[in-house]
Amino acid sequence: MDLVWICIIVGLVGAAVVAYFVRYVLRQDEGSVRLKEISGAIKEGGLAFIHREYRTLAIVVVVVAIILAVVPALGWRIAVAFIFGALCSMGAGYAGMNMALRTNGRTCAAAQKSLNQGLRVSFRGGAVMGLTVVSIGIIGLSILYLVWHDDPNFLFIIPAYGTGASLVALFARVGGGIFTKGADAGSDLVGKVEAGIPEDDPRNAAVIADNVGDNVGDVCGMGADLFESYVETVVAAMTLTTVGVILAPWVKEVLFPTLSPEVALQRAWWLPLLIMAAGIVASVIGCFLVRVGEKVEMSALLGALRRGTLSATILAAVFGFLVIHFLGASLGLFWAMLAGLVAGALMGESTNYFTSYAFKPTREISEASTTGGGATIIRGFATGLMSTWPPIVLIALAIIVAYKFGSFYGVALAAVGMLSTLGVTLATDAYGPIADNAGGIATQAALPPEVRERTDALDSLGNTTAATGKGFAIGAAALNSLGLILAFAMAAGIVTVSGTGKLNPLPPELSLLSTPVIVGLLLGGLIPPIFCAMTMKAVGITTAAIIDEVRRQWREIKGLMEGTARPEYGKCVDIATRIALKQMLLPSIMTIIAPVIVGVVLGKYALAGFLIGALATGFILAITLNNAGGAWDNAKKWIESGQFGGKGSEAHKAAVIGDTTGDPMKDTAGPSLNIMLKLMSVISLMLAPVLMHFGGLI
Amino acid sequence: MDLVWICIIVGLVGAAVVAYFVRYVLRQDEGSVRLKEISGAIKEGGLAFIHREYRTLAIVVVVVAIILAVVPALGWRIAVAFIFGALCSMGAGYAGMNMALRTNGRTCAAAQKSLNQGLRVSFRGGAVMGLTVVSIGIIGLSILYLVWHDDPNFLFIIPAYGTGASLVALFARVGGGIFTKGADAGSDLVGKVEAGIPEDDPRNAAVIADNVGDNVGDVCGMGADLFESYVETVVAAMTLTTVGVILAPWVKEVLFPTLSPEVALQRAWWLPLLIMAAGIVASVIGCFLVRVGEKVEMSALLGALRRGTLSATILAAVFGFLVIHFLGASLGLFWAMLAGLVAGALMGESTNYFTSYAFKPTREISEASTTGGGATIIRGFATGLMSTWPPIVLIALAIIVAYKFGSFYGVALAAVGMLSTLGVTLATDAYGPIADNAGGIATQAALPPEVRERTDALDSLGNTTAATGKGFAIGAAALNSLGLILAFAMAAGIVTVSGTGKLNPLPPELSLLSTPVIVGLLLGGLIPPIFCAMTMKAVGITTAAIIDEVRRQWREIKGLMEGTARPEYGKCVDIATRIALKQMLLPSIMTIIAPVIVGVVLGKYALAGFLIGALATGFILAITLNNAGGAWDNAKKWIESGQFGGKGSEAHKAAVIGDTTGDPMKDTAGPSLNIMLKLMSVISLMLAPVLMHFGGLI
């Protein structure tokens, strides 16, 4: 039997668990009429955004697919795989967000009963997202495999699937990120700062847009991001096994020393899929282990989530070992996989250390806030820069270990290991914005203060898991991107590997110090900062438009400030949607076109340098922006907890500036970089059959 | 005759012009007793700092020299060259700063007469620095050449000279940078913000420290930085010509096709020295062309400085062409040199565009300030990131052109071309802090307001030239660093060049995609952000200490606020000195040790990747930090000129936060990165005879 059927079955099991969680959540109480009204407005706004975003996306996807279909070296199969990947990604994001929109209000209602019930509902809502992403991912890949693995172009078809997913993810992250932070900052500045009314006050026309933003940015964007990472790690590992259409000799020698070449190739393709399947089983078990007793302290909550992810990690390692053993692969591959798994877990912890106010770095930012906004920014930015070292060192170590035990395939397998437990990691991550939204709804519905306290506790925990999840997402992106770059280099014929898994002597053009590579490196290193500049500026434009609109409503709608009239929430949602969709185009299209231009004009060697250069600066920038942003957020929370004068003090004002600065960094620019790096790499891989013929003009 | 004697003569001519300018400045009126008293205090503080800094430095230099002397593959000649380089750099920095300290008060006195007279005195004070640096540079290099060019180890001796200069420069930049920005921010925060007294108010105990800072950071640090770039471009060009101890065949074939190998080698060594000599002559002429008529508008002032630098650039190109022609070198080398010269000039203009309030990017930051501090920071940071594209594209183009016409030697020669007019560029740069100091002295001495207005006009012009100078310094550092990395790769035997100037096929370890190179790249990319984090944090520590001290004096010294008692200025200078010297050690030592550790543990291939990785992220970070900082500074000035509510408005407060944030970025972390990149490269080059034996553990 083709063992890939096991993956289909595991994917269906994942889907069944999703159905169980969906049923559980939907059976929960929706709360009062007012509560239903508010969550209904959020749902309406979120779905309106996503429908318009997907319409824009559909045009881009169809245009790209037509281009792919007509280029002779590519063809219709590639176009079909590309569309399939785009549809899977859209489906995963849509399903996750749709569920989150239905869980928000129910979490709020559940928190009226108890903290524990609030946790259960919100976590299961998040778990739907996590398990949907991995189930769709593995089923999609398995279908591609079963349909086309005998096709001689199979290894050029699967990158197209990844590219489709990547393209959707980039638009979702960038568009959603601009929307969410533009609405958030606009709402805060015009409400809290200018008018002096509380956060989430229903008189503020931008509050619904702010709540919608959490869903379209943090849920839908994050889901599409990690769906992409998930499928592309498998793509990279599969692609690295062959030279053209035949098995690379080193794969047999090094990875499957006891098998025949035909069997070895089949197993090399099965291996990443089956490790992912093992990870899904581990994740499902992990999800069910998240439960707390009657104790409702923070530490118990955190312990519950940690138990889930840690158990899943250990189980994934054990199952992964069994897969490697039974497929007759070299046991070295287990160490490669384990290196990725461990590095991923530690990177999450490092992010937590640098961004949680339980630790020194963030508390120092709070302290610096006592000397003003400038000091807050400098200290936070310094923390962000400093926080780059653990992830980079961990990734470097993972690469060294993985390469030693499994050559390039090992590096790709480390990424597979890292992402195998995505189901449960993503569940803990998606739960955060649900709790955040529940808090917003509680305030707008004027529920008793203890409800908001409970949702705040859930939200605060969500910040910790979100930080861990973000660290993990960046690391996965970096390792995955590297795997794709290696796959591109092999597919374009610019590196070859000897029978022992080492690199063969090279064409001089690929030297680190050849002009095409150096020029490519410099230009590639330029793309992430420009991309960040564009997206951060776009947030500013959205913010300004939202502020204008809220001011206009206060001026023109009589009785709004007195609470006798309702603001037009839909207007703000509409404005944020329109601007976000417009502003996402330029940076996204730059990402798609840049590697193609470099590949065609400067040649394939420069393109390899370009991708590595982008990885080097993009990785550093992504960590810096994410962690500085997270640290500023929590430094403000630390002051709000009563330190350094507490809320309303001068230190608090300075910390708020830090928080406002950090928002577009950590929720728009930073996470989009992950996708940008992967998208540029996978586009290059997909176009390798074309680009291999371009030697370049320099 | 050995044509290097021409360089000695030109160096002496430069020194004679320096003597002329010194005599001119010293004959100017020193002003009133109060004025002399203030400038005396600044001088005392500056000299006290520099003496203590040099004592610390002396220890480091001696320790490193002893290590170099005892390593068998290096030896005493290398130790001597290293010490010689360190002494030259210290001398250049000391002379420039000493002169600036004597010019400040005289500029203030001259500005009492007229703006024109103020410009002449301050510019000639700055020109002393510019011409001293290039004169010492060329004389030092020529002496080394004349003494040791027959020594078989000559090409390992000259990098040691560069390393000595680099080491001193790093300490001077980092130490001076921490001092100046710590004192500046501390003085502003405790004076302007907390106590509400004007900038440079004599009741503020930190004002003298602030004025001292301009001299030790912006003058002495900048001088040492560019001295280092200056000598190291020559070092890189010379080192690239040989394989081991014999002329590389491609040098004869490609660069000097009509000459015999012996003559070709000699000429390849003469060429960069003589181009530098030509540039000094051009710079001297340029310096004398800086004069304004009786019209004293801003545009006339700027025009005067532009005329000086532009004429020098054109003359340097013409003289450079003649040198290349008469040495019988391939005319392609002229294009390589010109590519560098033009790229340098355009990079300065690009910096000016992104940081001057005459243009859109900075005005947009001012506008964003109306929505608060967070928006100011985001927009400024986005501007900094966006401003990376022109320098990177220009450097990439310069590399392509230079490589095409002169292979690796061409790349090094492009850097020589860029720096040939340093004499006059640095003059326009060093003039800025002198004018800035003159303004501070005018306020403290309670001179009539029109004097401060005139010095402010000079200062404002100084900001423009400083921005241009900084863009130039970064570009020069990047190109120079690349030249040194190429020289290292050749010296360590990891790349070889064919007879036609192309790379030979390579060992697979140097592939862009080999594990050592990728791991090296990632780790190298990590060093600049960590370095920035350390130095920016150090500024915060200094600032806090200064604030504490000023507060203490106000509390404890009776009559201080009423103006009946004098603050203890020396205490603040002392505190800033102590902390700066302590805090500069860790980042500087990390810079020295990191390449050695990577080279020994991970091997020479990883080290090549490490240096390129550091260049990729360091270049981006340096431009971003410098330009964001400059743009914030000028966005504040644009508001102060009456836009968006002017001084005291909410927008102004937000813009002040931007300015405070930008200060340590643009004056401490950013410029130090230049030196860091060059130092790591030149250390690797110097240690190439040792490191070539380390294949690495991975």
Split at pLDDT 50, 70, 90, the class of A191 is: confident
Lookup result for tokens 């700063």: B97
* Of A482, A663, A479, A664, nearest in space to A587 by CA: A664
* Paired tokens of B309: 């630098």
- Residue B296 is predicted with a pLDDT of 58
- Residue A428 is predicted with a pLDDT of 85
Q: Which residues contact B667 (CB under 8 A, 6 or more apart)?
A: B177, B180, B181, B217, B218, B629
Tell me what percent of the residues of chain A surpass a pLDDT of 90: 50
Burial class (CB in 10 A: 0-12, 13-18, 19+), A695: middle
CA B388 from centroid of its chain's CA atoms = 18
Sign of the CA dihedral A410, A411, A412, A415? positive
- Residue A458 is predicted with a pLDDT of 84
Q: What is the average per-residue pLDDT within B161-166?
A: 93
Query: How many angstroms separate the CA atoms of B215 and B100, rounded?
Result: 7
Query: How many angstroms separate the CA atoms of A356 and A351, rounded?
Result: 8
The most confident of the ranges B8-12, B169-173, B190-194, B559-563 is B8-12
Decide if pLDDT at B618 tops 70: yes
Q: What is the average per-residue pLDDT within A137-164?
A: 91
Q: What is the average per-residue pLDDT within B538-551?
A: 90
- Residue A447 is predicted with a pLDDT of 87
Residues of chain A contacting residue B547, judged by C-beta atoms under 8 Å apart: 371
Return the residue of B nearest to A404 by Cα: B698
Q: What is the average per-residue pLDDT within A192-205?
A: 82
Give A678 to chain B, closest Cα distance, Å.
17
Split at pLDDT 50, 70, 90, the class of A394 is: very high
| Other Cβ atoms within 10 Å of A578 Cβ, number | 15
Decide if pLDDT at B261 tops 90: no
The CA–CA distances, whole Å, from B26 to B35, B107, B434 equal: 15, 11, 14
- Beta strands (DSSP E) in B264-340 are none
Length of chain B: 698
Range with the lowest mean pLDDT among A71-75, A170-174, A421-425, A584-588? Answer: A71-75
Split at pLDDT 50, 70, 90, the class of B243 is: low
- Residue A21 is predicted with a pLDDT of 93
Range with the lowest mean pLDDT among A462-471, B397-406, B538-547, B610-619? Answer: A462-471
Yes or no, beta carbons of B525 and A193 under 8 Å apart: no
Q: What is the average per-residue pLDDT within B206-223?
A: 87
Q: What is the average per-residue pLDDT within B616-628?
A: 95
C-beta of residue A467 within 8 angstroms of C-beta of residue A425: no
How does the average pLDDT of chain B come out, rounded?
89
Q: Spell A273-309 as b/e; 16+ CB within 10 A means b.
A: bbbbbbbbbbbbbbbebbebeeeeeeeebeebbbebb
What value does the CA radius of gyration of chain A take, rounded to a whole number of Å? Answer: 24
Residues of chain B contacting residue A514, judged by C-beta atoms under 8 Å apart: 503
Return the residue of B nearest to A379 by Cα: B537
Split at pLDDT 50, 70, 90, the class of A627 is: very high
C-beta of residue A308 within 8 angstroms of C-beta of residue A290: yes
Decide if pLDDT at B250 tops 90: no
CA diameter of chain A: 81
- Residue A591 is predicted with a pLDDT of 93
Decide if pLDDT at B608 tops 60: yes
Among A513, A659, A681, the residue to mutate for chain B (most B Cβ within 10 A): A513
Decide if pLDDT at A294 tops 60: no
C-beta of residue B10 within 8 angstroms of C-beta of residue B281: yes
Q: What is the pTM of this model?
A: 0.93
Q: What is the average per-residue pLDDT within A525-541?
A: 95
Split at pLDDT 50, 70, 90, the class of B246 is: low
C-beta of residue A609 within 8 angstroms of C-beta of residue A598: no
Alpha helices for B154-260 (secondary structure H): 154-188, 207-213, 222-239, 249-250
- Residue B84 is predicted with a pLDDT of 96
Query: How many angstroms separate the CA atoms of B151 and B145, rounded?
Result: 10
Query: How many angstroms separate the CA atoms of B491 and B468, rounded?
Result: 34
Name the residue among B506, B513, B660 with its Cβ closest to that of A508. B506
A245, A246, A248, A252: CA torsion to nearest 10 = 140
Query: How many angstroms separate the CA atoms of B192 and B283, rounded?
Result: 40
Per-residue pLDDT tens over the stretch A33-71: 888 888 888 898 888 888 988 998 999 999 999 999 998
Decide if pLDDT at A651 tops 80: yes
Give B355 to chain A, closest Cα distance, Å.
15
CA A268 from centroid of its chain's CA atoms = 27
Split at pLDDT 50, 70, 90, the class of B524 is: very high
Query: How many angstroms separate the CA atoms of B63 and B57, rounded?
Result: 10
- Residue B339 is predicted with a pLDDT of 95
Decide if pLDDT at B616 tops 90: yes
C-beta of residue B91 within 8 angstroms of C-beta of residue B165: no
SS3 B503: strand
Element (H, E) at A467: helix A449-491
Q: Which residues contact A651 (CB under 8 A, 6 or more apart)?
A: A366, A369, A370, A639, A644, A645
Residues of chain A contacting residue B368, judged by C-beta atoms under 8 Å apart: 540
Decide if pLDDT at B245 tops 60: no
Name the residue among B486, B523, B526 with its Cβ closest to that of A513. B486
Lookup result for tokens 């006050």: A201
Residues of chain B contacting residue A628, judged by C-beta atoms under 8 Å apart: none
Split at pLDDT 50, 70, 90, the class of B244 is: low
Query: How many angstroms separate the CA atoms of A218 and A434, rounded?
Result: 9
User: Bigger pLDDT: B106 or B153?
Assistant: B106
Decide if pLDDT at A554 tops 60: yes
Yes or no, beta carbons of A661 and B377 under 8 Å apart: yes
Yes or no, beta carbons of B511 and A506 under 8 Å apart: yes
* Of A408, A131, A168, nearest in space to A280 by CA: A131
Query: How many angstroms separate the CA atoms of A393 and A389, rounded?
Result: 6
